[in-house]
Amino acid sequence: MTKLSVVIPAYNERHTVENLLNRVAGAPLPDDLELEMVVVDDGSSDGTRDLLRELEKKADPPFQLVEHPHNRGKGAALRTGFEHATGDIILVQDADLEYNPRDYPVLLQPLLEDEADVVYGSRFLGGPHRVLFFWHYVGNRVLTMMSNMFTDLNLSDMETCYKVFRSDVLKGLKLYSNRFGIEPELTAKVAKAKVRIYEVPISYHGRTYAEGKKIGWRDGVSAIWAILRYNLLP
């Protein structure tokens, strides 16, 4: 039986994480696919950690909770989650509700049919999405184009949360980013690994800053540095 590990970094998501975990547990997966959930609390200070501890006691199916003593960033939380994941396939899932686990079948299909080693879920290939920030869209497209220029890939959404990997591919990568630079780092390194990469359309329900969105312009600047660093430096 094939095992799917869903790695969920969580930082100050007390209002969404329980709903998200229920959605992951109820995702429409093939009958022969075993689900493993690894939740990494990245030093939350809003009650998320206490809530996750309570949920862990009664979760069905169960999930594994790993805790960082203080906030280190999404990249650090993902690296911790990857270390604890034991599945044949590893999928990244944010703890907010911007990305919906109902899209798992389309994300997993190229891997399960042995057509891909890595799958990106793109918000820009025609899936339904909430209409929000124009400049976020522009920034994302600029970063994706810049990344593509160095990797020679033709991705439409390098910054997407939904990245799915064969575990042997992912665990063969040496990752260093602590914050949102993890997205261009992963992209640069799978490109260098010359693996089969697919991109599929997904739905997207973006949040406003009032609803808890965390990424800002400083993270865009850091992403540019990450693109240069992980594509040009040894």
Question: DSSP secondary structure string, 17-78?
Answer: HHHHHHHHHT----TTEEEEEEEEEES--SSHHHHHHHHHHH-SS--EEEEESS---HHHHH
Q: Which helix (H) or strand (E) holds 165?
A: strand 163-166
Cβ–Cβ under 8 Å, residues 4 and 34: yes
- State the total domains in the chain: 1
Where in the sequence is the domain holding 116, given as residue range(s)? 2-232
SS3 of residue 86 by DSSP: coil
- pLDDT tens by residue, 181-205: 999 999 999 999 999 999 999 999 8
CATH of the domain at 219: 3.90.550.10
- pLDDT tens by residue, 107-159: 999 999 999 999 999 999 876 666 556 767 787 889 999 999 999 999 999 99
The DSSP 8-state label assigned to residue 103 in this structure reads: G
**Which two structure tokens, joined as six digits, stand for 45?**
């200070």
C-alpha–C-alpha distance, residues 165 and 103, integer Å:
15
Mean pLDDT of the chain: 92
pTM metric for this prediction: 0.91
Helix, strand, coil fractions of the chain, as percent rounded to 5: 40, 20, 40
